[in-house]
Chain A
Amino acid sequence: MAPLLQVENLTIGFPRAEPVRNLSFEVAEGETLAIVGESGSGKSLTALALMQLLPRAARVSSGRITFDEQDLLTLDASQMRRLRGREIGMIFQEPMTSLNPVMTIGRQISEVLKVHEKLSGRAARARAIELLNLVRIPGADKRVDDYPHQLSGGMRQRVMIAMAVACRPKLLIADEPTTALDVTIQAQVLDLLDTLRRELQMAVVLITHDLGVVAQWADRVVVMYAGRKVEQALPDDLFKDPLHPYTRGLLAASPRLKNDFHYRDGALTEIPGSIVSAVGEAGCPFRPRCTQARASCGHHIPPLTVPAPDRLVACPFTSSIKAVPDAVALRY
């Protein structure tokens, strides 16, 4: 069966830069795919490209995005509008600013239903209350008339989720849905997303830089660096045996590396340098920051290889790195 969403060789260009290059991935129905990477790796732009909501200056310069057997890049504006909010829902990073401050949450949820399902005002309101119940907002029938500023951050993100799933989309794109929330609220929101995914049989593209989120909620992981996919794996494989030096660095920089590790026990490692160093790099974009870099890394961009079933990695030296366990982490 064809995957629900298939992205092939996607390249997004600004006038002076290409923040996403040759990115390919696919999402099966009902699956949660996590896209991981640090700020500036092109995760959010990829999400916006799926919705065709890129900023004005950005263009998809090449590639194909196939959703439900339609090529999204060939759809006109009104066809795309029919998909947005109905077939593909999206949740944004900032629940504080992503809701209209002068409209009640009920009306903001109803709006989707009125546009796509042509519901009357009363029916849409009733559905909005149902949806608020669905996202576990207590006292939904009263809360429906609240304005966003009367809700907490976690509540607002729930409202965003209610809006995104209102029309039972086949695909939900969650762009860092918990970054702006308290840690205690993060797990609740992600649990909710996971439950809804099962109840509504949605596929989820979960964009995050939080590896803890990936470990717990993703079916498959794509690691991005400087606009490219550097590694793809099942979460268990990725955490047990990271292949790409960047992934290893990420894991080493995360307190989840060992189960009993805590901030108190010692300093976390860091990946030296910043993603800016990838600009203008002829070879492997990670080379300037890579502890394992060799002369040949500067010659050409390493292609994705298949070191094991269900895995992809863009580094030719993974086997030699493996010989030195935790090489990256131990260096510091």
Chain B
Amino acid sequence: MPALVRIVRTLRRTLLQAIPTLLGIIILNFFLLQLAPGDAADVLAGEAGSATEESVAALRARFGLDSPVLEQLATYLNNLAHFSLGFSPRYGMPVADLIAQRLPGTLTLMAVALIIAIFLGVILGSLMATFAGRIPDRLLSVFSLLFYSIPSFWIGLMLIVFFSVKLGWLPSGGSGTIGSRLTGWAALLDAARYMVLPATSLALFYVAIYARLTRASMLEVKNQDFVRTAYAKGLTPFGVTARHVLRNALIPITTMAGMHIGGMLGGAVVVETVYSWPGLGRLAFEAVMGRDFTVLLGILLLSSLLVILANAAVDLVHAWLDPRIGAR
């Protein structure tokens, strides 16, 4: 299978190239975080309320926070070289375990949101392109502009007010019914119910982007010669759009979607906080508030890895969508 060989080769090359990138990200972030006032010991002491000079100093010594900055960096890098993300002073557990707990929640949320965004965005964008300049296009343009400009936390709150408080259809937060021992389909359905609102609030912004992008891209492709050829073959307008226009129009959308995977992680922080979703975004938020830099560095490392992998995936999707690109 030459296709499979190509995929493996692309991934291997991507990962090798990722190593210096990741190293740069870690070192840069490490120094940036040092600029923040206070450390984990300060926060822990503040929360305890009865800390003395000595007990804070003891905490610092225990977590290695009192050693010079460069030494701390060396220790961290040494840990990484041994495939360890370090230990969280605040949670009292290895960072890797902490992230492993939260990662699936965020990944599902992001994946569902991205799928909703691309699916709805492409459908709405196609509709807008089909009716370009007419009423459906104008209406959808207004809505997409609206969702593009409204911050996601506000959309999140309004969705909670409407669907949870007023209508009572969907839960307002969390990721599953607490204490329910559901299995199989019932468990999946339960999880889906909790997923709807956070995924929608995360997705709406991107729906707007993809709809506008699809519209522009399709209008451009529609004027190309091969579309006229397709009509000259006797295809229906729907057939021409589905078979000839859409696939060509999707190429810029995959590029954007790949770039958005990183951005979505940022959006997830807000949405996860609003919906008390147990994900990586909220963990990052809590880590910042608790000055838990080991956790934060771990998350940053992981998310940059995620972005790099997403870009590699986009390259592969591109090669599949557009044979002219092919393997490099």
Contacts and interface: CB of A to CB of B under 8 A. Distances in A.
B230 interface: yes
B229 interface: yes
Interface string A69-110: 000000000000111111001101010011111110000000
Nearest to A93: B225
Interface in B208-251: 224-226, 228-236, 239, 243-244, 247-248
Contacts of A59: none
Given A81-B236, A83-B234, A111-B233, A102 B247 contact: yes
Nearest to B233: A85
Given A111-B243, A149-B324, A100 B226 contact: yes
Given A92-B228, A100-B244, A84 B233 contact: yes
A112 B229 contact: no
A81 B232 contact: no
A112 B240 CA distance: 12
Interface in B289-328: 321-324
A101 B322 contact: yes
A94 B226 CA distance: 9
Contacts, number: 72
A98 B234 contact: no
A100 B233 CA distance: 13
Contacts of B235: 81, 85, 111, 115
Interface in B164-182: none
A247 to B, nearest CB: 30
Contacts of A163: 229, 233
A98 B229 contact: yes
B129 to A, nearest CB: 14
Contacts of A99: 226, 229
Contacts of A86: 234
A293 B55 CA distance: 109
Contacts of B239: 115
Contacts of A149: 323-324
Contacts of A53: 228, 231-232
A116 interface: yes
Interface of B: 224-226, 228-236, 239, 243-244, 247-248, 321-324
7 nearest CB pairs, A to B: A85-B234, A84-B234, A85-B233, A97-B225, A147-B323, A100-B226, A90-B232
11 contacts: A83-B234, A84-B231, A89-B232, A92-B228, A100-B229, A100-B248, A101-B226, A101-B324, A102-B321, A102-B324, A112-B233
Given A81-B236, A98-B226, A101-B324, 10 more contacts: A53-B231, A84-B234, A92-B232, A98-B229, A99-B229, A100-B230, A101-B323, A111-B230, A112-B233, A115-B233
